[in-house]
Amino acid sequence: MTKYIGILTAGGDSPGLNAAIRGVGKAAQGYYDMQMIGFMDGFRGLVDNRTTRLDGGVLSGILTQGGTILGTSRDKPHRMMFAGKKQDMTDVIVENYAANHLDALVCLGGGGTQKNALQLMEKGLNIITLPKTIDNDVGKTDTTFGFDTALGIATEAIDRLHSTAHSHHRIIVVEIMGHRAGWLALGAGIAGGADVILLPEIPYDIENVAEAIRTRVRSGKNFSIVAVAEGALPKDQAVLMRAAEARKAAAVEKKERKSAKKELEMLQAANSSHTVTLSQQLEALTGLESRVTILGHLQRGGTPSAADRLLATRLGTACADLIEQGEFGIMVAARGELAVPVPLQEVAGSKKLVPMDHPWVESARRVGTSFGD
């Protein structure tokens, strides 16, 4: 009997999503004679039952396109805004899954999507996920599609900023995406030859950062590039943030959770302009003009790199194979050149952070890069 597959993209957009949709669809339809429908705008479209047929004509030509032809949203099935309040819509999703006669639902997304997919699996749905995010922080996979493209964009930005930093004898502070994981800032900082790299995983001392720049000045180098992840924190703020996160995680009563959540949100808000503050501090401490460049959503846009197209296609076709084999409740992870099924219970909530002793960190230190620690 023909199998019917649903697919959606959730969370932030990312290069390679269309390549993954195409990989799943072409393998499922052309190799296994399955039928595939897409749900528009993530889990919101699944609740609203807004679908589109994904036949060969639709899939043709999307390999090189950025973004996602299905649209996306950050809606969570168990906390979706309806009628002015947040409601649990998972039962509606179960109904729509059955109404569309689905044999499986494929969810493409990052860490949040893995958690949401696990909840749907626990409701009895046949779920498979694929790991996408430019942050490269999904656990249990070597890499995520979207990361390589964003890495190239951020590296090129640093390359271009070198000329103006050198010409004007300035400090250029480049803010790169990454709230909790610094893979993107680390990789782009190394590849772009940044003099200082600041990561969420390695809290910094502003005086150490300034001294690294002053040392360059004393050696005749009158400019510096500072690559900073948006979630990087000075040591004192990092202590406060981690303590607030721990209190929130340990809170049992609803009142305690609300209080801890509010405290955490206040700390995060205070850190929202942290890159500008960092730039001002460095200017005052070094005597060099300092300018800020925030790459923002530029890193998520445009044509996916060859590596991301290849990875997304590889994981997408493996996804179709696993559906045919009846393997569900899994994420299709990249392990070397293999595509490996990993139980969603192991993936959900698992965040891949940069280890202090990671080879990239060690290599950066060997070439004289400062982490401000």
What are the residue numbers of the active site? 135
Tell me how far CA of residue 359 lies from CA of 143, 276, 355, 362, in angstroms. 15, 30, 9, 5
Q: What is d(CA 123, CA 272) in angstroms, rounded to the nearest whole number?
A: 37
Token pair recorded at residue 155: 């590296």
Q: What is d(CA 156, CA 345) in angstroms, rounded to the nearest whole number?
A: 37
Dihedral over Cα of 263, 264, 265, 269: its sign: positive
Residue in the structure block whose two tokens are 């200017």? 283
Contact between 309 and 163 under an 8 Å Cβ cutoff? The reply is: no
Strand duo 330-335 + 224-229: pairing: unpaired
Q: Which helix (H) or strand (E) holds 41?
A: none
Residue in the structure block whose two tokens are 């958690």? 115
Token pair recorded at residue 210: 């300034």
Q: Which helix (H) or strand (E) holds 180?
A: none
Strand duo 171-176 + 224-229: pairing: parallel
Contact between 186 and 150 under an 8 Å Cβ cutoff? The reply is: no
Outline where 55-110 has alpha helix (H): 56-59, 90-99
Which DSSP string do the residues of 241-264 spell out, in sequence order? HHHHHHHHHH--SHHHHHHHHHHH
